[in-house]
Structure 1
Amino acid sequence: MSELGAEQIRALPKVLLHDHLDGGVRPATVLELAQEQGYAALPADDVVSLSAWFAESADSGSLVRYLETFAHTVGVMQTADALRRTARECVLDLAADGVVYAEVRYAPEQHLEGGLGLDEVVAAVNEGLRDGEREVAQGEAEAPAGRIRVRAMLTAMRHAARSQEIAELAVRYRDDEVCGFDIAGAEDGFPPTRHLGAFEFLRQANAHFTIHAGEAFGLASIWEAIQWCGAERLGHGIRIVDDITLDGSPVTDDLAAAIDRAQAEPGAFALGELAAYVRDRRIPLEMCPSSNVQTGAAPSIEEHAIRLLDALRFRVTLNTDNRLMSATTMSREAHLLVDQGGWGLTELRRVTVNAMKSAFLPFDERLAIIEDVLKPAYDG
């Protein structure tokens, strides 16, 4: 039995860097919005069945199949009211889970079918996020950690051709709690360098960005994201383990054994040039254990690379990815690693502080949350 119980974990302040707005909609909200809008394509007509369908469909071992589930959530997020509602509820759900700081990402280009423009999409989401924050601040919503700050991240779809436009949108709204830019979608066949112009624009504008890389595709995707595009963080990045060996053999040959060895003898591992660069430069890895198991990027929670990479002191962060599809929360992700991965308060503290250090937030604000919120809770 773990010394950290579910309620204790839930009460701990958490920091979330990788969470998709359209991947965290409440099932009841999907149903209600579908009924209001006349959206008839849902695969179920009650909350329990719909929740089960999302989890089962996402639990396929295929990233492509996993991404298909978003057709329904995005399908009902095509009006300003729907975007405001889902954004507000996102904040309330995260606050109820003990999250004190979050960066929630979404792709504005996917919410235009109802006639909204890109600026209208961003304005609606921002309004919903602020509404949720106000409710928490005024004590009208559950928040075991007592506070929450949520910033938006604008995502461009890597298979589309609007990345420059979305990058400019992110810069235009960076003084309105839009913290950065991302590209997402299926990696294979759509390398990040297809969007090099957008990343060059962002760098010249002193803007922040992360890149989904090293989830379903390997080291080449990570290398391009960092060395060509200049990514500050890696969305997932789990495949960096492909560049680590133990006793001359890839650690992926026996991850369980490698994880056990790393706890006692981290110096026994050899890092390739790319893995060494990622660790040396403290490039944050936005890791999402449950999601990775669902898409086949990891065999299990017990053998998830987050445990190895944390032991080898990469800058690992813990995230949800898609709370609806993975039927998860930050508390659940932490509890899984405690129960199945042998983690304790030390590891949870480390990944939480790592995440706050890596947030797209001014340094003084990051430091204040670390010193005034995180450390007292984890060290007290």
Structure 2
Amino acid sequence: MKPSDMQIKAAPKVLLHDHLDGGVRPSTLIELAAEVGHQLPEGTQDDPVALEEWFVTSADSGSLERYLDTFAHTLAVMQTLPALTRVARECVEDLAEDGVVYAEIRWAPELHVANGNELEEVIEAVQAGFDEGMATVAANGRKIVVRQLLTAMRQAARATEIADLAVAWRDRGVAGFDIAGPEKGFPPSRFLAAFEHLAAENMRFTIHAGEGFGLPSIWEAVHPCGCDRLGHGVRIVDDITVEEGEAPKLGSLAAYVRDRRIPLELCPRSNVQTGAAKSIAEHPIGLLYDLGFRVTINTDNRLMSRTSMTAEMAGIVEAFGWGLPELQRLTTNAMKSAFIPYDERVDLIHEIKDAYAALAES
């Protein structure tokens, strides 16, 4: 049975792939831009609706590289410690309003030091915002757990330094490590030393792979680098042969990813914008779910994609006819794949199951 809009909105959600600088409120962006003298696109300086429309239109190009260009504006206003704390706090508040009960928010400290801030300072500022946001949500009678994922940029050379910081902050709000940026020409194996260090320190990490580039990107993330999750990973479908009247055939890489239960951090709306999928209805999430991959659903960049977890869930419900059981499975998949301790994951999974059971009876 198709869930109602109210049920989808109320459903508990787990978010593993969301960028802090991709989820700034348009109104906040306008205020922060005025404070630092940053010039926003013409006609958007005083109009949050127009600014949001500019981001969505600019990101809706079918190119990952052009999609990434839009971040010049959000990054420009996130170069002070108070701005970082504010954006982080509002991120938590917005996610809680959307029904998210657990989130790992990724961001690249190295992109927020233009004003001379130290890496430790910007991490502390973001954590302060997350702590404030979680406290505000709790004071309003709700619960959300938010952790940081520290990202290194694959076109730069600071991965080992960021990995060291992830380890140093593991008990202070950081759950893991990530690399992001243009995939083509910047293979994850460039940072093999960083990944080996993380593994030696028993630190979990995800790698952006299989979004802007194909199977070689996924293979490197999985094998020499040993990632715990695939950031996107949508192009794993290129290793699956589907012929009419026959069962889908998995290539060796697709079979390995499925059989090892390596989670896929799929972001349907973003994948359509960057050309990784033609439409939501044609997104590989349906096929991958049916074949038993550990599929999760995510927002990627809420501003650029004008999206939320509620919107992402509603989109796949409409496209694939899924109901609450499928949404619960996606949510449980994500919680199983989170980078927090097992007992904490189990407690949240029980709460999620209870909430879905109550929704099914409503």
Say whether the fold is shared (TM-score over 0.5).
yes
Other-structure match for 2:102 = 101
For residue 379 of structure 1, report the CA deviation from its aligned partner: 2.4
Q: How does 1:1-380 map to 2 (within 5 A)?
A: 3-43=2-42, 44-45=44-45, 46-139=47-140, 146-247=142-243, 268-371=247-350, 373-380=351-358
For 1:113 and 1:349, the matched residues in 2 are separated by: 42
Give how far 1:41 is off: 4.1
Q: Deviations over 1:331-358 (max 9, x none)?
A: 0000001112221112111110000000
Q: Secondary structure at the match of 1:4?
A: coil
Q: Report the equivalent of 1:254.
A: none
Give the partner amino acid of 1:219.
Answer: L
For 1:7 and 1:36, locate their aligned partners in 2 and report how far apart those are by CA, in whole Å: 38
1:259-313: CA deviation from partner (whole Å, max 9, x where unpaired): xx8xxx8xx1211111100000000000000000000000000010011100111
Q: Could you tell me the TM-score, scaled by structure 2's length? A: 0.96
Structure 1 CA distance for aligned equivalents of residues 52 and 39 of structure 2 = 17
Deviations 1:64-95 (A, max 9, x none): 00000000001100000000000000000000
**Which of structure 1's runs of 4+ aligned residues deviate more than 4 A?**
none
Aligned length: 356
Q: AA paired with 1:103?
A: E
- DSSP-derived class of the 2:179 partner: strand
Q: Structure 2: give runs of 5+ residues left out of the alignment.
A: none
Identity among equivalent positions (%) equals 62
For 1:128, the aligned partner's letter is G
Task: Output the CA distance in 2 between the equivalents of 1:4 and 1:53.
Answer: 32
Q: Secondary structure at the match of 1:239?
A: helix
Distance 1:229 1:72 in 2: 32
1:3 Cα deviation (Å)?
A: 3.1
How far is the alpha carbon of 1:125 from its aligned partner? 0.0
Contact 1:58 1:66 in 2 (8 A): yes
Deviation at 1:119, TM superposition (A): 0.2
In structure 2, the residue corresponding to 1:321 is in which secondary structure?
Answer: coil
TM-score, structure 1 as length reference: 0.92
Q: Where does residue 253 of structure 1 map in the other structure?
A: none
Q: Distance in 2 between matches of 1:116 and 1:10?
A: 39
1:250 aligns with none
Instruction: Deviation per CA, 1:43-65: give whole Å up to 9, x if none.
Output: 42111110100000011111000
- Secondary structure at the residue paired with 1:179? strand
Deviation of the 1:246 alpha carbon: 2.6
The offset of 1:42, in angstroms, is 3.9
The range that moved more, 221-230 or 33-42, is: 33-42
SS class of match (2:104): strand
CA distance, structure 1, for counterparts of residue 29 and residue 8 of structure 2: 28
Deviations 1:109-150 (A, max 9, x none): 00001121100000000000000000011117xxxxx31000
Aligned partner letter, 1:309: L
Task: Calculate the aligned-residue CA RMSD, in Å.
Answer: 1.2
1:8-31 Cα shifts (integer Å, max 9, x gaps): 111010000000000000000000
Contact 1:219 1:243 in 2 (8 A): yes
8 A Cα contact 1:301 1:341, kept in partner: no
